[in-house]
Amino acid sequence: MIWAGLAVVSGCAGLAVAGTALLRRRLVAVTVTGHSMLPAYRPGDQVLVRRGVVPRRDQVVVVELPNTERRNWNSEPAGLGSPGEPVTERQWLLKRVSAVAGDPWSSQDKASGRVPPDHLLLLGDNASVSFDSRQMGPFPMERVLGTVWRRL
């Protein structure tokens, strides 16, 4: 009987460790560093980001910063489809989803159409200092780390 009790306690501790590891893969704390999301988010604000959640219009997301000169990425995605991948070696942007796949959109060069499948249009709240879909076009969903769940 004593050994059975110890086994249960050990099993519960294992579940707690597994639960903590799962949370670490699904929740990420991010510190805001720029001014592109003013007034909603200020430099120094910390937000909790949920990974593995498909973003909806008007939600705020964290998306990987592309190479701004070539307008592409230098590495494999570490976004929604890769919840176990390390994220600290990458640079990230905080942006608001303005349109999702299938929504109409137009760009600065007067091109128009629909947001392609598995892409999002992302805009900073402070347009005068924001690098976003106005310059980049649609962002691939695979480059989205997750959605902002709450401010810490």
Q: Give the global pTM.
A: 0.75
**What does the pLDDT average to over 36-42?**
95
Instruction: Identify the band that residue 64 occupies on the pLDDT scale cut at 50, 70 and 90.
Output: confident
Residue bearing the bigger pLDDT, 9 or 99: 99
Tokens 């159409």, residue? 113
Question: Could you give the percent of the chain with pLDDT greater than 70?
Answer: 66
Please give the full DSSP string across 116-151, using - where no structure is assigned: PTTEEEEE-SSGGG--SHHHH-SEEGGGEEEEEEEE
Positive or negative torsion for Cα 44, 49, 54, 57: negative
Residue bearing the bigger pLDDT, 145 or 74: 145
- pLDDT at residue 86 tops 70: no
